[in-house]
């Protein structure tokens, strides 16, 4: 008799294998046939880590953050180590004269070579408020650089979303055009049979071949455009090895907008990064005006030095000094006044920039609402048109097989079906892009609204 383990139940192994396969299919990114599959959110996440433009913006933000530390360091005392050897033409006193020789004080040592080593420090006590203003200016600039990073980030996300849905559109169009080619090939077979039977003239086959070639060229054009779109996507994602093929997990949608026009405008002015950056630029201009005005006030420094000096005998003698110094501009040829006027003009320019951007925000939101409404209307119309076109093609094909019409009628019906299906795909794409444009206009990331049906 065979061993008992030879008849063990194989189902547990099958279940384990199924679970393993499902885990692979539901992984975030998986490879098959040397291809990487990305969903919309994965495309965006990868690009935000690898796109060189985003990295440059991140570095610019980090630089501005470091400038805050540099500005704060200006308030702290500076200590330097000083050392040197000085050669004089005539003998020079190594140390200052400490008293009159007539009163019993000794003469100082003289030498032509002086060695010195010591520490010096300088500490600002008052600079007309410019130290604090510069810290404020650095902080505002750092905040603006953060907004610029957000602007570039949202621009990249919008472009990625646009290419993603463009690829989705092209893949649908490719399916439609390939289906049309297949239908025309079948129709050509029927025309050829009828031609052999003598029921249709030869010109019908020529017309069919012409339309078939046109459909094949259309499919080839869509395929090439799809390949170009994938190359653009890889560039935006920052894929260094452009020879790697990628594929998209299509089917994602951004959902529908539930905000009114007034709510969208209000939200945009409250959170759109480029508008927030302009508002901060006004604060920056005010701070720079005050900084320029502070140049009219005196600068007060505390300074000191401790030094050891020696001649060639290397017998070092110490000396030190401590000073409180004040510097105040008396005449500068109008430089400070001109600087203040320049900063005020800069503020006026920024105020006009804010107004122009506010009008742009309102226009972009209005256009997005109009585009969304138009796309939804076209989607509703195209669904009915597709059903009508399919039924029309079925009837014309049936009539052709019964000899009630010509091949031209069938080809016209196929062209109409191809057109309405293409229009439906375009309407779906336009609806998604209208939603993406509205979110971008409001300063929101499209990846936050991605919905997978």
How many CA atoms does the CB half-sphere of 260 hold within 13 Å? Answer: 3
pLDDT for position 253: 85
| Stated pTM of the model | 0.79
What is the rounded distance in angstroms from the CA atom of residue 334 to the CA atom of residue 257? 57
The residues that bridge with 285 in the sheet, in sequence order, are none
Q: φ, ψ for residue 109 (rounded to 5)?
A: -75, 140
pLDDT for position 6: 40
How deeply is 285 buried, as exposed, middle or buried, from its count of CB atoms within 10 A (0-12, 13-18, 19+)? Answer: buried
Tell me the CATH class for 33-77+129-301+340-449: mainly alpha
pLDDT for position 17: 45
CB 306, CB 119: distance < 8 Å: yes
List own/partner pairs for 210-219 with CB under 8 A and 24 or more apart: 211/184, 211/411, 211/414, 211/415, 212/181, 212/184, 212/185, 212/188, 215/177, 215/180, 215/181, 215/184, 215/418, 216/181, 218/177, 218/180, 219/174, 219/177, 219/178, 219/180, 219/181
Q: CA torsion, points 305, 308, 312, 315, in degrees to nearest 10?
A: 160
CB 226, CB 174: distance < 8 Å: yes
Q: One digit per residue, pLDDT tens: the chain, 453 residues?
A: 344 444 444 444 544 444 444 444 444 444 434 557 888 989 999 999 999 999 999 999 999 999 999 999 999 999 999 999 999 999 888 877 666 666 555 677 888 899 999 999 999 999 989 999 999 999 999 999 999 999 999 999 999 999 999 999 999 999 999 998 998 898 889 888 888 888 878 888 888 889 889 999 999 999 999 999 999 999 999 988 767 788 888 888 888 888 899 999 999 999 999 999 999 999 999 999 999 999 999 999 999 999 999 988 888 888 899 999 999 999 989 999 999 999 999 999 999 999 999 999 999 999 999 999 999 999 989 888 999 999 998 998 888 888 788 888 888 898 898 899 999 999 999 999 999 999 999 998 876 555 554
CB 399, CB 405: distance < 8 Å: yes
CB 275, CB 358: distance < 8 Å: yes
By C-alpha distance, which of 316, 252, 244, 288 is closest to 129?
288
pLDDT for position 29: 41
Q: Is the dihedral of CA 426, 431, 432, 438 positive or negative?
A: positive
By C-alpha distance, which of 419, 399, 429 is closest to 190?
399
The residues that bridge with 113 in the sheet, in sequence order, are 87
Q: φ, ψ for residue 274 (rounded to 5)?
A: -70, -30
Q: Supply angle C-alpha 439, 175, 41, rounded to 5.
A: 30
pLDDT for position 429: 92
pLDDT for position 446: 75
By C-alpha distance, which of 77, 107, 80 is closest to 95?
107
Query: Edge-to-edge strands of the sheet including 110-126?
Result: 78-93, 110-126, 299-310, 317-327
Q: How far apart are the first and last CA of the chain?
A: 56
């Amino acid at each position: 008799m065979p061993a008992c383990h030879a008849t063990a139940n194989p189902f547990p192994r099958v279940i384990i294998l199924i679970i393993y396969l499902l885990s692979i299919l539901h992984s975030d990114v998986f490879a098959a046939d040397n291809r990487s599959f990305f969903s919309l959110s994965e495309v965006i996440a990868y690009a935000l880590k690898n796109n060189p433009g985003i990295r440059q913006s991140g570095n610019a933000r980090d630089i501005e953050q470091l400038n805050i530390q540099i500005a704060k360091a200006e308030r702290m005392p500076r200590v330097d180590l000083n050392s040197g050897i000085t050669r004089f033409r005539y003998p020079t006193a190594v140390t200052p004269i400490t008293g009159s020789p007539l009163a019993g004080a000794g003469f100082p040592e003289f030498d032509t070579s002086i060695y010195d080593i010591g520490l010096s420090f300088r500490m600002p006590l008052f600079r007309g408020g410019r130290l604090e203003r510069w810290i404020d200016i650095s902080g505002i600039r750092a905040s603006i650089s953060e907004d610029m990073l957000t602007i570039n980030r949202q621009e990249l996300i919008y472009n990625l979303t646009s290419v993603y849905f463009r690829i989705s559109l092209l893949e649908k169009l490719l399916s439609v055009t390939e289906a049309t080619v297949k239908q025309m090939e079948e129709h050509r077979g029927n025309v050829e049979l009828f031609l052999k039977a003598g029921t249709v003239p030869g010109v019908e086959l020529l017309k069919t071949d012409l339309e078939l070639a046109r459909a094949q060229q259309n499919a080839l054009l869509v395929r090439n455009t799809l390949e170009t779109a994938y190359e653009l996507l890889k560039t935006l994602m920052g894929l260094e090895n452009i020879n790697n093929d990628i594929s998209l997990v299509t089917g994602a949608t951004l959902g529908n907008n539930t905000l009114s026009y007034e709510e969208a405008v209000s939200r945009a002015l409250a959170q759109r990064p480029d508008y927030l950056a302009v508002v901060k630029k006004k604060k920056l201009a005010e701070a720079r005006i005050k900084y320029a005005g502070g140049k009219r006030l005196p600068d007060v420094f505390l300074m000191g030095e401790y030094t050891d000096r020696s001649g060639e005998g290397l017998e070092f003698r110490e000396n030190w000094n401590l000073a409180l110094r004040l510097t105040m501009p008396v005449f500068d040829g109008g430089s400070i006044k001109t600087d203040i006027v320049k900063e005020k003009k800069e503020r006026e320019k920024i105020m006009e920039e804010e107004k122009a951007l506010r009008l742009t925000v309102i226009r972009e939101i209005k256009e997005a609402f109009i585009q969304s409404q138009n796309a939804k209307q076209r989607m509703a119309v195209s669904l009915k048109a597709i059903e009508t076109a399919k039924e029309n093609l079925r009837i014309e094909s049936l009539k052709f097989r019964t000899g009630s019409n010509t091949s031209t009628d069938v080809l016209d019906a196929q062209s109409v079906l191809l057109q309405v299906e293409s229009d439906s795909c375009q309407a779906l794409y336009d609806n998604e892009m209208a939603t993406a444009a509205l979110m971008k206009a409001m300063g929101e990331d499209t990846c936050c609204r991605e919905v997978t049906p």
